[in-house]
Structure 1
Amino acid sequence: MITSSTDKRLQLLKEMSYLSMDDSTGNFWLQQLRKEAKESNQSDKEEWAIRTLIRFYYNAGDIEKVNQYITQIDSLAKQTGIYSDNYFDAHTFRCQLFLWDEQFEKAADAAIHLYNLAKEVNNETGIICSCETQGLINQRIGRDSIAVNFFLEGLDLLEKKDKDYRYIVQFLNNTIESELKLNRFNSVHKHLEELTALISDIRNNKYGPDPAFPYDRCFTLAEAFYASLYVREKNAPEALKHINAAKPYVDDLDDQFVQIFYLYSVAGYYKLTGQYTQALNTINTVMELDNDPEMKKQRAEILMEMGNTREAALQYREALTQNEDINSNAFVRQLSQLHALHDMNNLELQVKELRVTELELGAKQQQLKWTIGLAGLLLVVVILGTVIYMHTHKLKNELQKDKLALLESENALRIARDHAEESDRLKSLFLSNMSHEIRTPLNAIVGFAQILDSEMEDVDERKEYTHIIMDNSALLLNLVNDILDISRLESERYRFTFAEQNLAECCRSALTSVEHRVKPGVELRFSPEDENLMLNTDKLRLQQVIINLVGNATKFTEKGFIELAYTVDKANGLVQFTVTDTGCGIPADKQDAIFERFEKLNECVQGTGLGLSICRIIAERFNGEVLLDKKYSGGARFIFTHSFNL
């Protein structure tokens, strides 16, 4: 029974944490609040404390601590069955921490999962948070049109809810920044009017006193937005008016983003009015703060206007080189795909050559039969004389030797033919699997893209189709990556990079990347024997094995738990990992085949059937192995060993 004294104490702890929210004192009170709320079974207060701790470590940039508390808030949500505003706030902090660390794939994966969950449970705060995060991700990678769609969706929901004016200001700033890049001038004018009116209302205490609101930053950024807009519209007088309005505040602001945007607009104004020396000096100052390709392009345009074509060309080249570096990974992936196709064509040619050789040997065998028949005729003639008999006997021995040699050749050919047929079977199986696995997401991508290309007016339906395209694009990329991975690993073109790693941290990072796949009602566990164990390993490939094994478990486990554990076998110099689940298990007739390529336990589940083959190859490079524990009957358990002596 929760007493009033307990409530009062928890409320007091909450107020104490507010007094020192961003330092160690506040952290202490939050930890105490979380502990006492848990003991008194007040899950809402416990969840608020965990969410606020995540915010604390988000501000400190400590991703390990953020992941630790994300696991706790996930566990709490599964226990209560409630996905509250605090839950979505907490996950948003982690998504954005991935984004600022430029882990775009992790950020996008987590944001999409968050968005879908928020839609499923109809939590508007969750939808708003995930819209902001997906907008920021697309903005950072240059897909501003998609970013604007997410920002506007979140902004529309915000304005329908209780007016959170701070959050609306934030959404408007992000929307205007992307719309300026897209030259959507009418939309920028509209949103700037809304932004300046809202800032004025806040300053006049329309929503109550808020002394902590950053008026100067918001006012200065809005003026910088106006200046950039009028520069793009080639309206120099209006641009200068807003530059002068923002100028008194810029130097006093400790905000690099506002300074960069303001100075970039000033450089644009100088260029527009022919003041090229001032424009060049200003853009040089901007590039000291942010050496972005867009800044280099602006500098090249200024140099071109000044007549310095040589230096302008060099600057354009630098900008292009930087963009090429950004896109180089995509190019390498495409090149690897072409190489894989070339290898497949070579395999087909080898199979044809073996079949031709087989036909030639068949003809020689027929010739041998005729020779043996002739030898039989000679044996009859031998009866006529000793001389003829001796000659025929010698010939027979020679023919017998030729026959044995041909039989040996035939046996070698049969083995080569069997290998060729096995390769041909694997190729056919590969093409069959890929034609199905690739056609499924491609049909979704092409089909929904055609629908989007039509003049569709239903915004919600358009967004739903867009998400389907994005999900299937990610699925298609995973299929291609599996194929390329096994190609590189087998050809030994991929070099492993070994270094001392904290094993527990590696495992937690791997679990974080797959936890969104875990079905509701399933508990994801981690049981390390030694939290401080250091292991000489290739971190990325070790995590790939863990992600593949745990990812497989998530596909077939509907309830119960999935547990990753490791123990140290000092006697044999090994670390032994186990991935245990309470899923449907593996039928006895498939247990020996699951490590074969393209073998799938369930044909209805998407995948290449290469995951376990990749795990086995990587394990062998670690002087270990991957195997199925056939004695375990509660689901499935895979064992993976890694040697200390590498």
Structure 2
Amino acid sequence: MTIGVTKSQNKTDSLLLLIESANDIRKADLLNELSISSRNISLNKSFEYANKAITLSRELKYISGEAEGIKNRGVVYFTQNKNSEALIEFEISLELFKREKNSVKESALINNIANIYVTQGEYEKALTNYLKAVKINIDANKQESVANIYNNIGMVYNKWGKNEQAFEYYNKSLEINKKLKNKLGIAASLNNIALILKNWGQYDKSLEYFQKALKTNEEINDKIGIARCLSNMASVYIDLGQEEKALELNLQSLEIKMELEDNQGVLFSYSNIGDIYFKSGEFDKALEFYAKSLNTATESNRKEYIIISNTDIGDTYLKLKNYLKALDNYGNALDIAEQIKSKQNICLLRSKIAFCQFSINQINSAEQNYLYSLSLAKELNFVNLIEQNYKELSELYAQTKNYEKAYQFQSEYLKIHSSIFNETTQSKISELQTKYETEKKEKEIIELKSNQVKTKQQNQYYYTGSLLIIFIIVIVFLQNRNVIKKKSLSLLEQKNILLEKANQDLIISKEKAEESDRLKTAFLTNISHEIRTPMNAIVGFSEYITDNEIDDAEKIELFNLIRINSNTLLNLIDDILDVSLIETGQLRIKNEKFSLAKLMEETFLLVKENKKLKQSHIDFTYYIDNNLKNCYVISDPFRLKQILVNLLDNSVKFTEFGQISFGSKIVEVNNVKYIQFNVDDTGIGIEKKYHEKVFERFFKTPTNNSVLYRGSGIGLPIAKSLVTQMKGHVRLESEPNIGTSIFFTIPFVEFINKTTNIN
């Protein structure tokens, strides 16, 4: 379980406790909060809590609670890609909030409705709703919300191909965010403006704006924004024909997204890398990355992106003239598009399917799909697709010798082609006008700033000159008097500096020696205590077992206690020996073939026998990636199990309730595959300042509670040393009172045949 999901679960548990004692309206509000907090855990639970909130609010005639519940139900539908159902829920909720005159909620719902229309390609309806939301926020003086919605409006115009309007709204958003000093909003606006400049072919200016956005994101450490800027900059280098630079930036972006576990961002990067290989004619590699994008989209159930990935794969097979495979992928995309009622995608995919059918002489099917696509394109006013369908229908009818229809569609094609040419020309003139106005304003601003700088410089010259004259007079007067004194002070100061540095070096050396001595003393104290405890138990029980008066059942129990304490002592001695081997560099990793699934199961069964785990209510689970279940890998199974057991024992020691889990999956970094293991618990957690120290030998984390935790302080350091020897890395995430997650990686080397090198 990740920390984010753990937080949601903790909040949900807290709300469930509060709801037991809540009454009436407070209970309805808590049910709505439960619907939101459980959304990351279970959409069904979220829907259930929303329904309960609606039912209770209606009984109490509590309109705001009912409206909030209906909105939460709509969000669940939207997350499930059920856009029609979500739209109905949002519109009902909106009417209820209007009755309550809650402008903030009203604006948020109108924005949600607009988002649905964007998803469905209904841009006019989306714009109408965004503009309504803007008016509400302007009236309420919510400037940050106005800036965000201006960005959304710009995004709609950009999707619609109306670059001038998009540019205008992105700049409006930028101006507001600059006044508010909202760096997150500034970075987003700069990024969007850069995209429009790219569309206009102003690549130098586009890269300049992307660099500004990247710098702003780095200032606020917004990693998602950094990754987005890198991806977008890559798209500029693709247009410039610099595929290698584009690939480098996309791989940097992908690495950040994988680190953040941003699945949507990862699938974008996979798709972008596929586009680079497609453009450079490396179609096998393009298909590889499009397939990765499709798998990621399918795993996260992002239906829009399943459509995009299938379409990209279809386009690649079309380029290779493999029309059957292209048809297969276009068909998969069309099925999803019809499920979510995405008219824009249905229109485009029907035309692509028709082209493939025409290419393999399925004339009747091709004709039906072209006509369907044409009808829908007219409804959506997709002029370019209308033109394409007219042209291809004309060619289809000409091939089937239906010259009357061929002439009819050819005439329509020529008519719309001429219209598009005129519109394109006018659009280019408008773009040039916009560029001219923009550059003119920039020059005026630069000239104004230059004049201000000159005036300021002149004033500074006069002021500086006056000060300089006074300063020279004072210097001449004081110079003779201070020369000797300065020399004496300089010599004294140099000696003091040398002395102080020597003292500091001595203090640092002394502190290091004392710290080392303290840690070793603490280690010896701990170890002597840890050894003495099982030894005393073994000696005591051994003496007691010789007593003839105790019965056989008691003797068996004593034998078990002796065995347990002997194993504890043996494990402790093994740890001490491992520390010694690591210290002297004699520890060796022994690679061999083994089943990772079997090792994970053995580890689970071994740790499951832990006495504390058996006696507590801790939920102990493990999982393994499907790609690893049936494969054999090459590594050191003994040391790998030792690492997992050390980490899990640590989790058991510091967890009193909740969950402990561990698992493994394949990750890829810079085209190199690794097995990533994770151990997660809901224990007491570790303060951030101790995150690095816990891997130091003999260190034991201080705790604020009264519970005494036993241990030698060498388990985690041994685990880290072993991971390092296995050419892996360890990473820790932890928050006090929430839990701890430890991740470590080892290289993924799959055993394929007898020739696989295991050294």
Report the TM-score, using the length of structure 2 for normalisation: 0.32
Report the TM-score, using the length of structure 1 for normalisation: 0.37
